[in-house]
Amino acid sequence: MDIRLIALKDWIVRRFQQLELGLADDWQLTPLCGDASYRRYFRLVSDDNSWIVMDAPPEGGDSGSFVKIASGWRSLGITLPKVLAADVEQGFLLLNDLGNLHYLDCLDDDNADDLYNQAIDELVKIQGCQSIPEYRLPDYDREFILRELAIFPEWFIDQLLGLELSAGEQQCFIEMSGLLVDSALEQPRVCMHRDYHSRNLMLVDGGKLGIIDFQDAVLGPVSYDLVSLLRDCYIEWPQAKIERWIRLYLAKADSAGILSVALSDDLRTVDERQFLRWFDLMGMQRHLKAVGIFARLKIRDGKGGYMADIPRTLNYILQVCSNYPELEPFYQLLSERIIPRAKANAYLDTSALERLE
């Protein structure tokens, strides 16, 4: 018996009475698929109207962050779900419905430039958010980054692949992690969505960009959300397109003052070469974490749908490693030990891994 679902339905009935919205006798609550977190989302349909309902158990996190970030970002002109009712103690939220059309559903060669232009515009707005009333963004600091990196060896290498690393190989991972952390921490710090990709960007109102799943926002490295967007775990683009979109972002961010960095008494603007290095290494960190999370979802949570995204994500990691001499030891570890074991794994599509040489 789903006790939370029973409580959620009771809460919906009471909230609709309080809001005087009216609820048809045959109203329906349909689960929405695709979220990789502890939260659940439902579409509530009553007559010809629909809403989104979030079920976020308090032990998993504070749903109050969603409410406060939504309010702060909406004041910047960013299109987000509007919170119509919230019970933070229970973790129940009622939101307006932004529809069904995610970026991932409609991106193609013909519309990609226009859609990414919109996404970059909204990203610059998010990064320019200086403060959120009554809410302090968590710091994406060294400990935070290292915790995320540790997901890769624990869940992908150990739990999914069943591979035991030697002491020397573990040290290789530690040294690589230190390089990635240092690169992240030297970057300008901005308001960061933390999951800014094609499954969390939506087209609403005839083509306007809407943003969802922002409750885990933090204060962190300037390149993080851009690499989430352009080296998306769910859709892949040619390097030439990615570099063109990076330059577009740099122009927009520079105009908005996002890239100004204080160095002693000097103030300079980050150049393209420096930013590209940050972008690549930040992507390494994010993609290592993502592979670990996809494995964890399969093993711990029984959600195997993300297995298909592991080869693409591993390929990003290998591409970056091959471009930086200081990452050569980790590239060798991947090529000689981890990738061969991944190709032998029953849960992974080995044909999709053939390109990972």
For range 210-220, the mean pLDDT: 94
When pLDDT is cut at 50, 70 and 90, the band that residue 355 belongs to is low
pLDDT of residue 115: 97
**Strand residue runs (E) in the chain:** 28-32, 40-46, 49-55, 83-87, 92-96, 189-192, 201-204, 208-211, 218-221, 260-263, 266-269
Q: For residue range 155-164, what is the model confidence (pLDDT) as tens digits?
A: 999 999 999 9
Please report the pLDDT score of residue 144 as a whole number: 97
Average of per-residue pLDDT across 320-342: 96
* Single pTM value for the model: 0.93
Report the SS3 class of residue 92: strand
Rounded to whole angstroms, the Cα distance separating 64 from 169 reads: 41
Residue pair 192/140 in contact by the 8 Å Cβ criterion: yes
Mean pLDDT for the chain? 91
pLDDT value for 259: 79
Structural domains in the chain, CATH included, are 3-96 (3.30.200.20), 103-353 (3.90.1200.10)
Asked whether the predicted pLDDT for residue 38 surpasses 80, the reply is: no
The confidence score (pLDDT) of residue 263 equals 42
Give residue-wise pLDDT tens across range 239-282.
999 999 999 999 999 899 887 754 444 555 678 999 999 999 99
Using one digit for the tens of pLDDT, what is the confidence trace for 127-154?
A: 999 889 889 999 999 999 999 999 999 9
Exposed/middle/buried for residue 103 (C-beta within 10 Å: 0-12, 13-18, 19+): buried
**Range 54-81 average pLDDT:** 90
Q: Which residue has the higher pLDDT, 48 or 328?
A: 328
Continuous segment of H or E residues that includes residue 218: strand 218-221
What percentage of the chain reaches a pLDDT higher than 90?
A: 77
At residue 353, the pLDDT reads: 62
Average pLDDT over residues 50-62: 88
Give the pLDDT confidence score for residue 265 in this predicted structure: 45
Q: What's the pLDDT at 36? A: 58
Report whether pLDDT(118) > 80.
yes
Predicted confidence (pLDDT) at residue 68 exceeds the cutoff of 80: yes
Given a contact cutoff of 8 angstroms between Cβ atoms, the answer to whether 230 and 248 are in contact is: no
